[in-house]
Amino acid sequence: MSSTEQPGIRAAAPHIVPPSGPRVGQGEELGSVPLPGLTLAVRSRPPERAGLPPALLVHGLGGSSQNWSALMGELAGDLDAEALDLPGFGDSPPPDSGDYSISAHARAVIRYLDSRERGPVHLFGNSMGGAVATRVAAVRPDLVRTLTLVSPALPELRPQRTALPTALLAVPGVASLFLRMTKDWSAERRTRDVLSLCYGDPGRVSAEAFAAAVEEYERRLALPYFWDALSRSARGIVDAYTLGGQHSLWRQAERVLAPTLLVYGGRDLLVGFRMARRASAAFRDSRLLALPDAGHVAMMEYPRLVADGFRELLTETTRLTGPVDSRNAASTTSVTSTSSATGATGATGVTGTSSALDTPGTDTSGTMRHVPPKGD
């Protein structure tokens, strides 16, 4: 993924989303759950009180559950949250099948939720994890209470030029070519490149967080399956983009019944900000949180704003539908989805502003727009 100003540097940087802090942050727990054909590492933070609704957070390509640590901290008083490492990423070993498609990742999420009987959950997804979460919500509405998507990787007819090198990772041989070309690069240089790619403002990353990112980068590069998991997952994204019919991601987005929060960053180099309009029209019961200064990982850059946006979604859906039984989500979300009608584009709605940013001295604000549910 290259910058048009510096194609030679960023095009060579592998897509590894850096963590926002220590591998296991204060108050966090990291465990593993064996399932048929795979084992998933799961990060959790004990809820502040009993009875909070469950949530599951799914990272993107090259990321890990660490990418959700900041947001989990912000929502500790609202959710009983867990973040998993998809197979082959973070601390999860590769799947026995070697299948890294979007559907395979979605099956892993579904197997986990079924095994723990935690559904329906508030499901979050970033980038590739957004595509995975969309598929889960479409095929298993009983497992999803609400859906929050941060820069979801949904098909673009004309992707940004800065995103094209990600697709190149899907081409056989490109990963090994990159490795040979950059064997002398330091972990600091690689990490700095990725921060410039993923953050709207890399200067927001503290020295401590940068050091943790470098350490994690080195750890992942040493894994024997790292490049295989990365390139095969990139191939899975490209394959998902080309699917048509009922398996198309956009068609599945239209089938999602759960109330949905869409979060897009104005400085995202990987997912075009223009896609916010199409996504708002596709998801029948959607709200849009636009963060002009955010990049591809708004939940890491502006966790407080994203948390505020989710709380608005949570408050509204709780008011409309009330508490939900663990296996009655499908009928409940159907009521929400068909409660009102809108025009063909779904472009009208109520506009408001989120609360102040989590960084003192920053005056950027996010915009929340509620797109009314479409009639079936």
Q: Which residue has the higher pLDDT, 194 or 345?
A: 194
Alpha helices in 283-366 (DSSP H): 298-301, 303-321, 329-337
Three-state secondary structure call for residue 338: coil
**Residue 236, pLDDT score:** 84
- What would the two tokens of residue 175 be? 């990963």
Beta strands 144-150 and 260-265, pairing class: parallel
| 127-136: pLDDT as tens digits | 999 999 999 9
Q: Distance of alpha carbon 26 from its chain centroid, rounded?
A: 22
Q: Which residue has the higher pLDDT, 315 or 23?
A: 315
| 82-93: pLDDT as tens digits | 999 999 999 999
* Confidence label for 330 from pLDDT (cuts 50, 70 and 90): very low
Q: How far apart are CA 151 and CA 125, in angstroms?
A: 8
Peptide bond into 120 cis (omega under 30): yes
Phi, psi (rounded to 5 degrees) for 277? -65, -45
**Residue 283, pLDDT score:** 98
Question: Does residue 16 surpass a pLDDT of 70?
Answer: no
- Average pLDDT rounded to a whole number, residues 177-198: 78
* Confidence label for 202 from pLDDT (cuts 50, 70 and 90): very high
**Residue 247, pLDDT score:** 82
Closest Cα to residue 247, out of 155, 159, 167?
A: 155
**Residue 163, pLDDT score:** 45
- Which residues have CB under 8 Å from 349's CB, separation 6+? 287, 369, 370, 371, 372
Closest Cα to residue 364, out of 124, 149, 125, 200?
A: 200
**Residue 298, pLDDT score:** 98
In this structure, how many other beta carbons lie within 10 angstroms of the beta carbon of residue 255?
16
Tell the residue number behind the tokens 């070519």, with chain if given. Answer: 177
- What would the two tokens of residue 154 be? 């949904």
What order do you get walking across the sheet with 350-353 strand by strand?
29-35, 38-44, 80-85, 54-58, 121-126, 144-150, 260-265, 286-291, 367-371, 350-353
**Residue 343, pLDDT score:** 29
| 208-239: pLDDT as tens digits | 989 988 988 888 888 989 888 988 888 888 88
Strand partners, 32: 41
Q: Which residue has the higher pLDDT, 167 or 102?
A: 102
Strand partners, 34: 39
Q: Distance of alpha carbon 363 from its chain centroid, rounded?
A: 25
Closest Cα to residue 210, out of 234, 184, 186?
A: 186
* Confidence label for 153 from pLDDT (cuts 50, 70 and 90): very high
**Residue 323, pLDDT score:** 57
In this structure, how many other beta carbons lie within 10 angstroms of the beta carbon of residue 76?
18
Question: Does residue 344 surpass a pLDDT of 80?
Answer: no
